[in-house]
């Protein structure tokens, strides 16, 4: 799976690569332009932040929104990137 933020269209585009074919699997809409995306260390979630500092936490593999908050991006990154040891 590949994730490409597209600030101009306010979506995260999710692509799937099968053999030599790249096809869009989902387009995840946001209120503002998407600035960054990150997987959780366990691969269970995808976090995306937009220009309005809204952070969406998607549950994988369904890409259902499990959280949607206006917080600073550093807070969410610290949750996703913390050492689990």
Q: Who's near 39: CB < 8 A, 6+ residues apart?
A: 45, 46, 47, 80
**DSSP one-letter code for 54:** E
- Three-class SS state of 28: strand
pTM exceeding 0.85: no
CA distance 49 to 31: 10
Question: pLDDT tens digits for 26-60?
Answer: 989 888 888 888 889 999 999 888 888 888 899 99
> What is the Cα–Cα distance from 79 to 71, expressed in whole angstroms?
12
Are the CB atoms for 39 and 56 separated by under 8 Å?
no
pLDDT tens track for 6-31: 567 898 888 889 999 999 989 898 88
């Amino acid at each position: 799976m590949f994730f490409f933020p597209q600030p101009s269209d306010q979506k995260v585009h999710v692509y799937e690569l099968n053999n030599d074919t790249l096809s869009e699997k989902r387009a995840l809409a946001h209120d503002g332009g998407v600035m960054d995306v990150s997987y959780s260390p366990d691969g269970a979630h995808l976090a995306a932040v937009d220009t309005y500092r809204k952070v969406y936490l998607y549950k994988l593999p369904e890409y259902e929104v499990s959280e949607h908050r206006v917080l600073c991006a550093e807070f969410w990154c610290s949750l996703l990137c913390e050492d689990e040891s």
